[in-house]
Amino acid sequence: MDAMEALYTTRAMRRVKTDPIPERVQKKILDAAIRAPTGGNTQGWRFLLVDDPGVKSRLAPVYRGCMETLWGSIYKDRIDAATAAPQEEESVEFMKMFRSASHLAEHFEDYPLILFAFCQYDNSGGSIFPAVWNAMLAARTEGVGSALTSVFFLQLDDMRKILGVPDEGDWHFSACVTFGYPTGRWGVAPRRPAHEVSFRNSWDGDLGLKIPEPLFSLD
């Protein structure tokens, strides 16, 4: 697969089949992850794959609890706004995300493979998210969809206990990624154009470039 296709079409893919992810693809996911850079090349990371139904069924209610907390707290205003004005473009977009994220929570135990990433020392995310994203991109090249979620941070102790994460070693939870073969189709995610969120040489400085359309499309 062309690199641009991978970069442009790897987006949250939460509606997936229960078919298992072959070992060959699992290897590709992990081996691509560790190619990413880390601060000082410390490689202070651990990747935990979960595919055991028992472990997934213990994690699932914890995850659903986290999502409920999230919807009732930092997302409450956006849910209220979307409910009050459901026709607004912003509301439509938000509700799409809301339904998709709810789908993930409701079906947590049905994902055939779930990756947990932990990071040591560096809390900026800069030494772990390039690896996590590499894992997702490598999966994409094999037709496997993924979705990144960090909401376990709302019930860290329960999640760490289920997975047996030790207190020693300063291992911070960074990300959880679900994997699965999509039921739907791949596409390029719509985004606010880059020239509207980019500057040159100073904050608010004219970028001098316009990028009105995605530079890659599947058509």
Of residues 139-198, which lie at the interface with its own copies (CB under 8 A)?
140-141, 148, 150, 153, 163-166, 174-175, 188-189, 191-195, 197-198
The tokens describing 17, both together, are: 């089949």
Taking the C-alpha atoms of residue 18 and residue 114, their distance in angstroms, rounded to an integer, is 12
Q: Which of 43, 57, 83, 183 binds its own copies (CB under 8 A)?
A: 43
Q: How far is the CB of 44 from its own copies (least distance, A)?
A: 9
Nearer to its own copies, 23 or 219 (CB): 23
Give whichever of 26 and 91 is closer to its own copies, judged by the CB atom. Answer: 26
Place of tokens 């992850």: 33
Is 17 a binding residue for its own copies by CB under 8 A? The answer is no
Give the binding range for its own copies (CB under 8 A) out of 21-29, 61-69, 102-110, 179-187: 21-29
- Under rule CB under 8 A, residue 6 binds its own copies: yes
Q: If binding is defined by CB under 8 A, does position 215 make contact with its own copies?
A: yes
Residue 200 lies near its own copies (rule: CB under 8 A) = yes
Closest distance between its own copies and the C-beta of residue 191, in Å? 5
DSSP H or E run through 190: none
48 interacts with its own copies by CB under 8 A = yes
Number of chain positions touching its own copies (CB under 8 A): 85
The residue assigned the tokens 């691509």 is 32
Report d(CA 12, CA 136) in Å as an integer. 10
Sequence-ordered list of residues with C-beta below 8 angstroms from that of 175, at least 6 positions apart, any chain: 115, 116, 117, 128, 129, 132, 148, 149, 150
Q: Can you give the three-state secondary structure of 34-88, one letter per residue?
A: CCCCCHHHCCCEEEEEECCHHHHHHHHHHHHHHHHHHHHCCCHHHHHHHHHCCCC
Per-residue interface string for the shown chain with its own copies, residues 101-130, x marking contact by CB under 8 A: -----------------------xxx-xxx
Please report, as residue ranges, which positions from 53 to 72 form the binding site for its own copies (by CB under 8 A): 55
Query: What phi and psi values does residue 148 have, to the nearest 5 degrees?
Result: -95, 130
Quote the radius of gyration of the chain (alpha carbons, Å).
Answer: 19
